[in-house]
Chains A and B, each alone.
Chain A
């Protein structure tokens, strides 16, 4: 458990090199070592989706991937995807539909929604629901979340 590995990865476009304990989760590394606290830790066992980040283009659970496994990878978080504008339409629609209450699940929810739209620009409501089914919202805002994603699909976001 004391073993650490030199790891180089790109996070939101910037290269970082750190000596990372082998047991450290990717989301803990992003939060605690890099200060990127937008990815949240909800369940620590891959259920809630609050820690969703993007690694080499695919969304992953930041709590189920070790940080050292990201060696050589391109990691993107809510902060980077906000700044690049990639999430702008979804963020606008979420805001207008009030598709968030406490906001804890929101970064993961946005990354999951963006991932769906990347692969399927015209999903129906059931497909949206299925795709975000791994992202828990405990304030029970799913209706508004699906509405917001639909707004983006229909160009209203």
Chain B
């Protein structure tokens, strides 16, 4: 039998090496280079209606009254809807997962009913013939608000003096603790103990293309076609089916070109669910585009943490133990369906990860606040875990007056130690931290850089050299 005839050679390449090592121009880049891509907002639909949302100006407030009378008379307006009207067509969701034991979150609706829990939460929807007409009418909605106490500080949220969702009992969405045992004993016998508290501000993805969705309901077939700038079309097919009551086989989610996602577009957004519900309600295609300002108010945020971390080591530079306490705030709801517990979970799973200490204690509290929601964004949890680990490792090296690279070399898990189970229970396979560190030091000419750094410091130039290991 002859060899299988597989196309092992990259088109346009001359070397007989197959695809490995070849730079292959992307065929789909051509249309993007000519401005002939198909981003969601580029698609054209007959009878398309546009939705704009009336968003809460308060971080926490009861919606006492919404008056749509002026908005309804605004030119081009097709309909104005509150949370109750949309809830008739779209069931609420609760973002918890079975493997995150104890995680809790209240039901969340596509459009807020009775109460807004963060500034920017959609509280009404206006559908009009054009986006600008919809926005004109949004400005004509009159609301009566009753401001409620706000919880915006993580420590206050944890202390629970004011509970955002009283039915949950406290402001804790999720907590977790790892403890190998022996941590206090390791700290007691350590020559050197270093401790710091690190704060991390919120990040967000800022995709150049804002979130975008066109939902097109066919009333004759009771079927829904959704053109969606999403990272998870199959997940969304299930979600639309589940919450709009349309059989899964009758829901089609089409994702064409997407202008950046970075983890922002992998979640269920209430305003996007509302758009799909509005298409069902109005029996015509409805488009929602998150403009730049509402992207800042409603795209998921990430990485708001305050973490106390301690490291114990011997005078000879052997790390004995890590001990950390992570507090992270996620806004008023856990985000559907992946939950907002994963990022913190990664932090307590991975902090200290590249190093071979055996004593580990990591505590985490995920708390609700009256800010925009947070969820998984690019390298979920890793930036926090790596920053904590390497910052406290540098503090220890400084305390020991030991070269930071040397201190790391002493403590990195040996390259022949795999498979290896980190004390958090996470399994590592086939890592090569020592080889990698050596390669890095050679490439950057570490010794020379240190000399240059010392010389520059004498001239009052403060140059920093940082090292970080990542799993």
Contact = CB atoms under 8 A, between A and B. Distances in A.
Nearest to B33: A91
Chain A interface: which size bin?
35 or more
Contact of B34 (A35, A38, A44): A38
Contacts of B75: 2
B51 to A, nearest CB: 16
Nearest to B207: A138
Contact of B32 (A1, A2, A106): A106
A43 interface: yes
Interface in A32-64: 35-45, 48, 50
B44 A35 contact: yes
Interface stretch (B192-200, B214-222, B252-260): B252-260
A23 B32 CA distance: 29
Interface stretch (A67-75, A95-103, A116-124): A95-103
Nearest to A110: B33
A103 B292 contact: no
Contacts of B291: 44
Contacts of B36: 38, 79, 82
Interface stretch (B21-29, B118-126, B427-435, B457-465): B21-29
Given A35-B44, A104-B39, A40 B259 contact: yes
B208 A40 contact: yes
B208 A82 contact: no
A66 to B, nearest CB: 13
Interface residues of B, number: 32
Contacts of A95: 25-26, 29-30, 33
Task: Tell me the interface secondary structure of chain A in the complex.
Answer: loop
A41 B131 CA distance: 14
Interface in B190-234: 205-210
A82 B26 contact: no
Contacts of B42: 31, 37
Interface in B8-55: 23, 25-26, 29-30, 32-37, 39, 41-42, 44
Interface string A106-147: 110010000000000000000000000000111100000000
Contacts of A31: 41-42
Given A103-B257, A136-B208, A138-B205, 11 more contacts: A40-B208, A43-B208, A44-B292, A78-B35, A82-B33, A82-B35, A98-B23, A98-B25, A101-B260, A104-B257, A104-B259
Rank and list the top 8 A-B pairs by shortest CB-CB distance, nearest first: A38-B35, A103-B32, A104-B259, A78-B35, A37-B42, A82-B34, A107-B35, A42-B208
27 contacts: A1-B136, A23-B132, A35-B44, A37-B41, A37-B42, A38-B35, A39-B35, A42-B210, A43-B292, A44-B291, A48-B208, A82-B33, A82-B36, A94-B29, A95-B29, A96-B25, A101-B260, A102-B208, A102-B209, A102-B260, A103-B29, A103-B259, A104-B209, A104-B259, A104-B260, A106-B35, A138-B262
